[in-house]
Structure 1
Amino acid sequence: MPSSLNPTALARLLGSWNSGALPAYRELADVVRLLVMDGRIPLDVALPSERSLASTLGLSRTTITAAYASLREQGFLTAGQGSRGRTSIPHRSTPVSMPGLAAPEGLLDLAYASLPAAGEVVHRAFADALTELPALLPGFGYDALGIPVLREAIAAKYTADGVPTTPEQILVTSGAQHALNIILRTLAGKQHKVLVEHPSYPNALDAIRTAGSRPLPVALPSPDAPDSWDIDAMVAAMHQQRPAMAYLVPDFHNPTGRLMPDHYRKRLARAAASSGTVLVVDETLRGLNLDGGAAAPMSAFSPAVVSIGSLSKSHWAGLRTGWIRADAPLITRFVATRTTMDLGGPVVEQLAAARLVRSYAEPLGSRLEELRDNRASLLELLAEHLPEWEVERPQGGLTVWCRLPTPGSTALTVVAPEFGVRLAAGPRFGVGGAFEHYMRVPYTLPPAQLETAVKALREAQDKVGDSPQLRRSLKAEERFAVA
């Protein structure tokens, strides 16, 4: 992550910001504030000096000074030395939505695409785990690979899915995000390119940037296109750009819910092998197959594929249990990286996870039926209350990807809490400020709450639509995690 922003880069992010509706310093401050809130300008980054920014934008230094002063007053810029203040989020004494925390009470949370626990199944797994714990207590409790019983269970699951796997090919992690960070540190250091679908999972994009790597986005076609993935563009990017790795979500892609067909998977595996690109495949949503579509795991097409899995979406995010499947020598490299971050995961959680993996399908029947009902309700509600939105019907997963009639996803996200809903802005799913035309809407809430949420979206959309200059004077919202 850069420690400072040069004036040319900031000007590019600002775009056509000066509409003349307000004094120039106000408009400049408002746009910078929205860029910080949306994450397109990271926190703790030094903004350009007043003199250099004034020269680049063709404005007086007085205008820049006033804009920076306004940002400092609002808490979006630290005092700093001279004009080189650093971006920040304002401190407030009242409870607010902070990064990583659930939405404040009274808000329906549409930023998190997660389900409540498969209650009885998860509870029973932990109760059984406690009976198995005494046998492990004489040991130190550290195991960077993961406890054997869980690695054996995960390996057996891959084998049953048609990908023969041994426990030596499994590394247990503290969730899928932890797994991705280990992989990035091992395979894609600073300035390495990482091919990603565009849009993609926000936390993956954040992890790639934080690792110092450069996302190489390849756009997904529109939903009415004959192909759901632009495989030609992906293959061309691999051969021409030679990315160190590719991060893909082929199984009920987040946020679109698409399922990649087998012939595309086979072609990508061949292209990755010939270009020296490591295919890293996020399979955390693979179990949430709502329409019965069939696709083999990507690792069935190449032994060089690195797979990420977890129990967060299928069973419960609170388990914080994930894993990496790869060939044994690569797992050894991942373990060496992992020990610089931590020395292993909690033992009781792994014992419980082993039971859940061994009976992986047990809670899925009822959960998938519930998700199908929720999806149908959400699609009907969006068609009724927001008919101008173009909605892509997902084949699985937890979310619907919607195209708005006009760009304004960020403004809608900032306004929505007034109507009782928290959202994740479309640009969070892209690179370079893309997807202001888009919004991800999960169907993880029950139909009654989805109805309340969609009606609130209608009100928020009307407010944004009726006030074109509203985005210039919106109150600040805290940046928060997206799941």
Structure 2
Amino acid sequence: MASLSARALALLLDRWRDTDKPAYAALAERIRLLVLDGRIALDTRLPAERELAEQLDVSRTTVSATYADLRAAGYLESLRGSGSVAKLPSRGIPAGQQPEPGLLDLTKAAMPATPEIVDAAKRAAEQLPAYLGDSGFDPIGLPVLRQAIAARFTKRGLPTDPEQIMVTIGAQHAIALLSRTLLVRGDRALVETPSYPHAYEALKGAGARLVPVTVTTDVGWDEAGLEQAIQRTSPSLGYLMPDFHNPTGRSMSAELRERTVALAERHGTVLIADETMAELAIDEVESTLPLAAYGPAITIGSVGKTVWGGVRIGWIRAERNVIQRLVRARSAGDLGTPILEQLLVANLLDDFDAILATRKTQLRENRDRLVTLLAERIPEWEVPRVAGGLTTWVNLGAPVSSQLTLAARSVGLQIAAGPRFGIDGAFERFLRLPFGHNAEEMERAVDALAVAWASVGRHPVSVEAGYLAEVV
């Protein structure tokens, strides 16, 4: 069973006293949010009352009351011999599960399914009998799909052979497989911050020590910091999102891609480029070649963002020897990608440009609607106008993202607090907002945010000079 030390929990709690609530209630509320937000994993043993009280410089009575409050609400369970363990009440929402009825979920950067899926599925069903004579366990991918993915890379300016492609069960599966295959416990892994939280989890699960590099909405990548991180730590692996970065929406310039790939090659760093957002341009932007076109790099992608999250197909593009190594390692985690879904995606890729054109129109309308609504109802927020992707990284102007998340939940909206996308509790001043929902849902979401924001505003947070600069 995993355990959380008093010091580690104190770092996650951060500024939990900034409220007019009694100490035990404020502490319980903050721990509850950490559980809901996934920053305290379920079944994790929390520190003993005495240890946490000493770490937070409060009385043991306060911590005892906190734990009692959490137990009564179903967020903590006391097990003989195991101490106090993080749980979710029956009404809670574990990560990856559907929200309770009536709760609008904005934690996922995704869109509804493209209508072309239906015809593609019908054709896939008709094609399936030709494959029923085989075992059905496919660790590398059907030749027809690998050829289609390779052709797509070639069309984008990166010549690719089918032998350089492995088909996976989505992009997250690809990240996890690469992490456990290419990393040795204790290796350093370069990551952007903020970034995709499940990538952090996969890398940490493989034993990596994370080396962060900052990405901001105004200037993009901290180029000096990126160069220093690679030169000083020589990370074994680097995980980057160079196209419509999640959550900031920024894209790397061609010059930065070239310099980064060259620097990584000199220091023995294997770069992984996450391209799940790469073809979701909204505005007319200057075309940039994939990162791997500038030198050695592994590319991952999927149809989860472009087609539908319910179609669990992704891929890895790498040199043949890396693909062979991944195939050998894969059986420890799974036995292959479903055949029917592979056929479905192969059919969709025949007319992928038309699907992307429709998505571009939808996303432009959705983005503009969200920007307009927020400007009208919460004008004090800084809302970047991103050129592509599915998310915008909103600056709230105060470190209250976690408080806002709890307030929004009470009015029917589930959102992910900014620290979910950082390391060790950073980004309390930010909120990731996806814009893949329809007009009615976006109206409802912004209405709920406005109500939640007003609620948080009635309990202002005291911010010392310099604090915001320290957490961003």
Whether these two folds match at TM > 0.5 is: yes
- Which residue is equivalent to 1:131? 126
The answer to whether residue 351 in structure 2 is matched with residue 359 in structure 1 is: yes
Q: Is the 8 A contact 2:300 2:314 kept in 1?
A: yes
- Which residue is equivalent to 1:65? 64
Report the more deviating stretch, 56-65 or 39-48.
Answer: 56-65
The answer to whether residue 325 in structure 2 is matched with residue 319 in structure 1 is: no
Report the more deviating stretch, 105-114 or 266-275.
Answer: 105-114
Give the C-alpha shift of residue 32 in structure 1.
2.7
- Which residue is equivalent to 2:114? 118
Give the C-alpha shift of residue 448 in structure 1.
3.6
Cα distance in 2 for residues equivalent to 1:435 and 1:38? 14
Q: Secondary structure at the match of 1:307?
A: strand
Q: Is the 8 A contact 2:403 2:456 kept in 1?
A: yes
Q: Is the 8 A contact 1:49 1:83 kept in 2?
A: no
- Which residue is equivalent to 1:250? 242
Q: Is the 8 A contact 1:38 1:410 kept in 2?
A: no
Q: Is the 8 A contact 2:419 2:427 kept in 1?
A: yes
Residue of 298, 308, 313 corresponding to 2:291: 298
Give the C-alpha shift of residue 23 in structure 1.
4.6
What amino acid maps onto 2:107 in structure 1? Answer: A
Q: Is the 8 A contact 2:215 2:248 kept in 1?
A: no
Give the C-alpha shift of residue 209 in structure 1.
2.7
Q: Secondary structure at the match of 2:301?
A: strand
Q: Deviations over 1:257-299 (max 9, x none)?
A: 1121110100110111011111101101111111222111001
Cα distance in 1 for residues equivalent to 2:363 and 2:400? 28
Q: Secondary structure at the match of 1:43?
A: coil
Q: Secondary structure at the match of 1:319?
A: coil
What amino acid maps onto 2:131 in structure 1? Answer: L
Q: Which runs of 5 or more structure 2 residues have no equivalent in the other structure?
A: 462-472
Report the more deviating stretch, 102-111 or 335-344.
Answer: 102-111
**Change in CA separation of 1:107 and 1:31 when aligned onto 2, cut-off 3 Å:** closer
**Change in CA separation of 1:182 and 1:14 when aligned onto 2, cut-off 3 Å:** same
Alignment of 1:141-152 (within 5 A): 141-152=136-147
Cα distance in 1 for residues equivalent to 2:406 and 2:62? 26
Taking structure 2 as the reference length, the TM-score comes to 0.92
Cα distance in 2 for residues equivalent to 1:232 and 1:20? 38
Give the C-alpha shift of residue 459 in structure 1.
1.1
Q: Is the 8 A contact 1:179 1:322 kept in 2?
A: yes
- Which residue is equivalent to 1:428? 420
The answer to whether residue 2 in structure 2 is matched with residue 3 in structure 1 is: yes
Q: Deviations over 1:337-378 (max 9, x none)?
A: 211111111111111111222322121212211211111111
Report the more deviating stretch, 76-85 or 395-404.
Answer: 76-85
Q: Secondary structure at the match of 1:344?
A: coil
The answer to whether residue 161 in structure 2 is matched with residue 166 in structure 1 is: yes
Could you tell me the percent identity over the aligned residues?
45
Q: Is the 8 A contact 1:215 1:431 kept in 2?
A: no
Q: Secondary structure at the match of 2:210?
A: strand
Give the C-alpha shift of residue 222 in structure 1.
4.7
What amino acid maps onto 1:273 in structure 2? Answer: E
Q: Secondary structure at the match of 1:254?
A: coil
- Which residue is equivalent to 1:188? 183
Give the C-alpha shift of residue 114 in structure 1.
1.0
Taking structure 1 as the reference length, the TM-score comes to 0.90
What amino acid maps onto 1:328 in structure 2? Answer: R
* Structure number with higher relative contact order (C-alpha < 8 Å, ≥ 6 residues apart): 1
- Which residue is equivalent to 1:344? 336
Q: Is the 8 A contact 1:25 1:66 kept in 2?
A: yes
Q: Deviations over 1:77-132 (max 9, x none)?
A: 2212368322222234xxx534212333333322122111111x211111111222
Q: Is the 8 A contact 2:20 2:459 kept in 1?
A: no
- Which residue is equivalent to 2:13? 14
- Which residue is equivalent to 1:140? 135
Q: Secondary structure at the match of 1:65?
A: helix
**Change in CA separation of 1:34 and 1:424 when aligned onto 2, cut-off 3 Å:** closer
Give the C-alpha shift of residue 74 in structure 1.
2.5
What amino acid maps onto 1:288 in structure 2? Answer: L
Report the more deviating stretch, 193-202 or 83-92.
Answer: 83-92
What amino acid maps onto 2:222 in structure 1? Answer: D
RMSD over aligned CA atoms reads 2.1
Cα distance in 2 for residues equivalent to 1:80 and 1:150? 49
Cα distance in 1 for residues equivalent to 2:362 and 2:54? 58
- Which residue is equivalent to 1:479? none
- Which residue is equivalent to 1:100? 96
Cα distance in 1 for residues equivalent to 2:274 and 2:213? 17
Give the C-alpha shift of residue 176 in structure 1.
0.5
Aligned residues between the structures: 460
Alignment of 1:402-417 (within 5 A): 402-417=394-409
Give the C-alpha shift of residue 16 in structure 1.
4.0
Cα distance in 2 for residues equivalent to 1:306 and 1:107? 38
- Which residue is equivalent to 1:481? none
Give the C-alpha shift of residue 408 in structure 1.
1.4
What amino acid maps onto 1:467 in structure 2? Answer: H
Report the more deviating stretch, 3-12 or 307-316.
Answer: 3-12
Q: Deviations over 1:193-221 (max 9, x none)?
A: 22111111122222223333232221113
**Change in CA separation of 1:446 and 1:141 when aligned onto 2, cut-off 3 Å:** same
Q: Is the 8 A contact 2:45 2:82 kept in 1?
A: no
Cα distance in 2 for residues equivalent to 1:408 and 1:41? 19
Q: Which runs of 5 or more structure 1 residues have no equivalent in the other structure?
A: 470-483
Report the more deviating stretch, 189-198 or 256-265.
Answer: 189-198
- Which residue is equivalent to 2:322? 330
Alignment of 1:25-104 (within 5 A): 25-81=24-80, 84-92=83-91, 96-104=92-100
- Which residue is equivalent to 1:474? none
**Change in CA separation of 1:181 and 1:20 when aligned onto 2, cut-off 3 Å:** closer
Q: Is the 8 A contact 1:199 1:429 kept in 2?
A: yes
Cα distance in 2 for residues equivalent to 1:76 and 1:9? 19
What amino acid maps onto 1:46 in structure 2? Answer: R
Q: Is the 8 A contact 1:40 1:432 kept in 2?
A: no
Q: Is the 8 A contact 1:157 1:358 kept in 2?
A: no
Give the C-alpha shift of residue 182 in structure 1.
0.4
Cα distance in 1 for residues equivalent to 2:44 and 2:93? 22
Cα distance in 1 for residues equivalent to 2:364 and 2:106? 17
- Which residue is equivalent to 1:476? none
